[in-house]
Amino acid sequence: MTRVTLVTGGMGGLGEAICIKMAKMGYSVATTYSPGNTKVAAWLADMKQKGYNFHAYACDVGDFDSAQACVDQITKEMGPVDVLVNNAGITRDMTFKKMDKTNWDAVIKTNLDSVFNMTKPVCDGMTDRGWGRVINISSVNGQKGAFGQTNYSAAKAGMHGFTKALALEVARKGVTVNTISPGYIGTQMVMAIPQEVLDSKIIPQIPMGRLGKPEEVAGLVGYLASDEAAFLTGANIAINGGQHMQ
């Protein structure tokens, strides 16, 4: 039976690259999109034209009931989720002095609460079946911090704390839980940074002298989702061009 992968925030950028990689590996792929997104049909049609028959489900990943309903619908229509990639995320960058509660809550809710909300409905099924993969997409800035990102850095660091604790709980059940911490990847979010800032501030910090490619991160996701990665759990794997080494 074909395994099912759910990628949150899979329309565009890194999420899209992960969806494509998982489809090429033979998985059935579902993704979430924010309610009210008007580009879903066009994206699905474009992907289908390229040979990828993806399924998309409206979901507010920051809301537990919405996440539960989304997973229930996927399970009914596609089968139980075998691989969950918690990829959805937003930024609301500003110094802590200027940050208000609204912008703190928005980032924590979407980037961290979502990990609980989406993992909770699928984890018991994975352990019952004796196989599963939870892959959390964090960030280099969750490892080293970043100016103007107390909210984002806190959320991304929290993701890995979740990873380690859950990995311990499900290790004997055939389920692995891992974190990937990308550096600066050439996605829409990063390319929105002014080119002058990229050239003068960011790329000089990267020993490889370039941004990462979404496909490079997707390849790592594909490995963690495979049977070959069955002995790898509780890890935080950095993929950042040497920008931050631990």
Catalytic residue positions, numbered: 152
**In the block, residue with structure tokens 């110094």:** 95
Cα–Cα distance between 115 and 180 in angstroms, integer?
Answer: 14
Q: Note the Cα 221 to chain centre separation in Å.
A: 9
Cβ contact 229:176 at 8 Å: yes
